[in-house]
Each structure stands twice: as C-alpha cells, then as structure tokens.
Amino acid sequence: MTEENETKQNPRGSGYSTRQKASLIRFLESHPEEFLTAKEIHEGLVASGEKIGYTTVYRLVNALSEEGKLKKFLTKKGGPIVFEFAPGHDEAEFHVQCKVCRKLFHLHCGEIERTAEELKHHLDAEHGILIDFQNSVFQGICPACRRKAEQNHQD
C-alpha cells in the first residue's frame, strides 16, 4: 500500500484518517470563516503541492460535513455548494446571503443573537418548536450591491 493511499483508523472520531484528509483539514484551518466550493478547495490543495483528485476532495468535504467539522450551504438552487470549516462549532451562527451577487457573509451582531434567543424560547414555549439557528442564513442585499443599485438609479 502506498503512503498516498494508506489509511488508519481515526481514534478521535468516525471514519479513517488519511494523509489527504489531514492536508485538507490543514488547508481549511488556514481559511477560517471562508466559504469555499469543493473546486476551490481542490485548486488550493493542488496549488500547495498536494496530489489529490477532485473526487477525493468532494468525498472528504461531504464526509467532514456529516461529521460536523464543516458547515455546508447551498448558495442558490442549482448553484454550487460552499463549505465552511467549523470544528466543534455548535452555537448559533448567522449568515447573510446577498440576493444579487449570491455571496455569503458572516453576520456578527449581538442584537440578532439576543433576538434569536428570545425567538427560540418563544417558539419552544408557545408552539413546541425546537429551532436550530446553527446554520441560519438571512436573505438581503450586501453593501456593494446596494451601492451599485443606488448609483445606477441616480444615473
């Protein structure tokens, strides 16, 4: 068995630990809070000298997503899926996706976090619904697209 294909049982969780998986995780760790497609991850790994196929990257990012180490977002119907590295990240995290350019942004806002906590308690107490804000995505228009629209409107 070659080093490239050698696998061993991962003692820290399910699945197998491979050199390629370790390289992929190191790559993702070096891109915190970034939303990357499997293609962008593959291109980054290859550019850094890693010998890894696109199919292997695709399989690994989906496995890591199932293990909870990556968050997975569909940016638009029929569009690319993006992944965000989030190991052991189980608190609410909010995102905004621009309806114009489809870019996904992190939304760090104490007011939204407080409001979400109140909404979570209300939905549970009044409606029996347990809501999970883990991967919440609000739709809106980003500042750059708003400026473009305002400039076009003024012209």
Tokens of 56: 């292997």
CA nearest 56: which of 33, 38, 69?
38
CA–CA distance, 9 with 20 (Å, rounded to integer): 14
CA–CA distance, 66 with 77 (Å, rounded to integer): 21
Tokens of 49: 């000298």
CA–CA distance, 86 with 33 (Å, rounded to integer): 8
Q: Report whether 109 belongs to an annotated binding site.
A: no
- List, as residue ranges, the binding site: 98, 101, 113, 142, 145
- List, as residue ranges, the binding site for Zn(2+): 98, 101, 142, 145
- List, as residue ranges, the binding site for Fe cation: 113
